């Protein structure tokens, strides 16, 4: 397996980004679910403090992943149909938009934001920036749950293509078993 993608399989970099981000997204979904369903419990206390740092890490990883995909666009395995292509584009968009909205909301709150000992932005005195709080509050969580639903759909469709007699098995492209 090479580093770059080819028309049959995704390369090592794409696979590491895909599966690494899948694990981090799973952690994000667990932390959000713990915050939503188990507020003020030990479960929330375990998961929730990592939500913002992991969100920022995912934000940077999706930027890297988009750049990598664009660099390999002519080499990547082609989508099996327009619906699969639209689904992947939507997943990429949500993985970019959700942490961006979280960052926007965090900035508008006036609180500083430090991750892994690095100051991302300092807090400020004065009034909060209400439109950023409203936009982030309105869309960040809801789009996160939509991303979860689409990710589950992505998994189901991958498995469906594996079992289907009318379409090709797409799993080896990302598993490296072809």
pLDDT at 80: 86
Look at residues 58, 45, 147 and name the one whose alpha carbon lies nearest to residue 94. Answer: 147
Non-local CB neighbours of 100 within 8 Å, separated by 6+ positions: 59
pLDDT at 78: 86
**Quick one: which H or E segment has residue 42?**
helix 42-47
Distance from C-alpha of 44 to C-alpha of 55, rounded to nearest angstrom: 16
pLDDT at 48: 96
For the chain, 178 residues long, give each residue's pLDDT as a single digit of tens: 689 988 888 999 999 999 999 999 999 999 999 999 999 999 999 999 999 999 999 999 999 999 999 999 898 988 888 999 999 999 999 999 999 999 999 999 999 999 999 999 999 999 999 999 999 999 999 999 999 999 999 999 988 887 877 777 787 788 865 5
DSSP 126-138: S---HHHHHHHHH
Q: Can you list the domains of the chain with their CATH numbers?
A: 12-175 (1.20.950)
Please tell me the pTM assigned to this model.
0.90
């Amino acid at each position: 397996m090479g580093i770059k993608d080819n028309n049959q399989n995704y390369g090592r970099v794409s696979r590491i980004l895909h599966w690494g981000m899948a694990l981090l997204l799973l952690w994000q979904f667990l932390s959000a679910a713990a915050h939503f369903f188990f507020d003020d419990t030990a479960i929330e206390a375990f998961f929730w403090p990592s939500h913002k740092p992991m969100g920022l890490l995912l934000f940077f990883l999706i930027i890297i992943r988009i750049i990598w995909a664009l660099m390999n666009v002519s080499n990547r395995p082609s989508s099996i149909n327009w619906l699969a292509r639209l689904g992947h584009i939507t997943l990429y968009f949500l993985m970019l938009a959700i942490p961006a909205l979280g960052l926007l909301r965090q900035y508008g709150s006036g609180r500083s934001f430090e991750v892994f000992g690095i100051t991302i932005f300092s807090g400020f005195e004065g009034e909060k920036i209400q439109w950023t709080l409203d936009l982030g509050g309105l869309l960040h969580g809801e789009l996160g749950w939509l991303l979860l639903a689409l990710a589950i759909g992505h998994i189901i469709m991958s498995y469906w293509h594996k079992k289907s007699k009318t379409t090709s098995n797409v799993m080896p492209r990302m598993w490296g078993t072809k």
